[in-house]
Chain A
């Protein structure tokens, strides 16, 4: 038992990299999210989509990107590896972005079934909305406050799905 514990400790120490979502949201006090979006999807922010970015790309940005150079010295190797791990985890999903607007609007997106989907939904209206998730086989509903962004993950196993909030519609179709 003691040997197993030591082995587990050694494994943990030899592989310190883990996906660090908290660091992504808080690095430097403002988080990577400030420039790259809450889900690293860009979301019309200056930094753009960085899902799947590797360590070389992160190191290069921290060394050479003028707005990121001050952040560089505050992130050690382990933290950088953990950030990259988190970006890799996000990249396992197919990203589908949906912006909720006022009035009537239909967005159509295609997906493949080889990877799970992550819907990243930005509520750009001034009213909180409640999204019924039963059309994608989830029982809970998702509330999104004004100007907030929330995500929903699903493994698509149907040829199409339709989500509706007020007069806004998202149609997902298998490619």
Chain B
């Protein structure tokens, strides 16, 4: 009986860690691209664990997640089943993971927007780009900067 309470507390602790821990980011990037690393560092600072996979081609992954090719950037990340393409701000990813919409397969910041995380100067406001949500139904604006 004495053991029940500590065991209960331990279970609660493990469960809360599983529920509240930031998910792991599986980052697919080319070994020759430097700016993806900057984005990864921002995500790590926000508490995510980033596992980097250096590859020259991961187009099958993008196809499997239904990402339209015109949204391409330099790197792709898989976070909790969603595909995040390019320099998407952490705030949008946090919102996606909180709301968990079933009709969105992923988010993209197409190309290499000048004032996006990993490209903007430290402390500079993000601006002049759109975060696009993609799904089987098409595209939608997730957030305008």
Binding site for B on A (CB under 8 A): 28-30, 34-35, 37, 43-47, 66-71, 74, 124, 126, 145-149
Contact = CB atoms under 8 A, between A and B. Distances in A.
Contact of B57 (A29, A68, A149): A29
A67 B73 CA distance: 14
Interface residues of chain B: helix, strand, loop or mixed (majority): loop
A70 B139 contact: no
A70 B33 contact: yes
Contact of A46 (B57, B75, B119): B119
Contacts of A71: 32-33
Contacts of B33: 28-30, 67, 70-71
Given A29-B55, A44-B114, A147-B132, A34 B72 contact: yes
**Chain A binding surface SS class:** loop
A102 to B, nearest CB: 10
A146 B55 contact: no
A104 to B, nearest CB: 19
Contacts, number: 74
A29 B54 CA distance: 11
B124 interface: no
Interface of B: 30-35, 55-57, 68, 70-75, 110-114, 119, 128-130, 132, 138-141
Contact of B73 (A34, A44, A47, A148): A34
B34 A45 contact: no
A67 B33 CA distance: 6
B131 to A, nearest CB: 12
B84 to A, nearest CB: 15
Contact of B68 (A43, A44, A145, A149): A145
Given A28-B30, A29-B32, A46-B112, 7 more contacts: A30-B30, A30-B73, A34-B112, A45-B113, A45-B114, A70-B32, A147-B110
Contacts of B112: 34-35, 45-47
Contacts of B139: 126, 146-147
Contacts of A66: 34
Nearest to B86: A34
- Which of A35, A43, A69 has the most chain B CB atoms closer than 10 A to its own CB? A35
